[in-house]
Amino acid sequence: MTETPWRIRLGAEAERDFLRILQYTAETFGPRQTEIYKTTLMDALAELTQGPNVAGSTARDEILPGLRTLHVARRGRRGRHFIMYRATEGRVLEVLRILHDAMELDRHIPSDDV
């Protein structure tokens, strides 16, 4: 018997991040690369259905208790972003932000989540 997959919920800031990333990619690298990177982001988000401790995730309690990050560069795909998320009730993983890996992650947590 398999466990019920976790549900993924993108917060408002994470949704804006996702759209901004795709817009930047389109303007900078064109439509083909935008589709490739969209797939990379979606694949990383889909892996979170396995639960908060998915392989490659890192606890980031120093930023916010219960916060974890997952880098989108996985399984041979390139990427430069972290998915910042936390487990909530009902087997839901709430994605707070999707941030470039060169950013200081602790400076970009939505203020209503601290």
Residue indicated by tokens 């974890």: 68
Ordered by where they begin, the domains of the chain are: 7-113 (3.30.2310.20)
Distances (CA, A) of 32 to 3, 25, 37, 38, 60: 36, 10, 9, 10, 33
In this prediction the pTM is: 0.89
3-state secondary structure of 15: helix
Each of the 114 residues of the chain gets a pLDDT tens digit; together they read 567 899 999 999 999 999 999 999 999 999 999 999 999 999 999 999 999 999 999 999 998 999 999 999 977 778 999 999 999 999 999 999 999 887 777 778 765 554
80, 100 in Cβ contact below 8 A?
Answer: yes
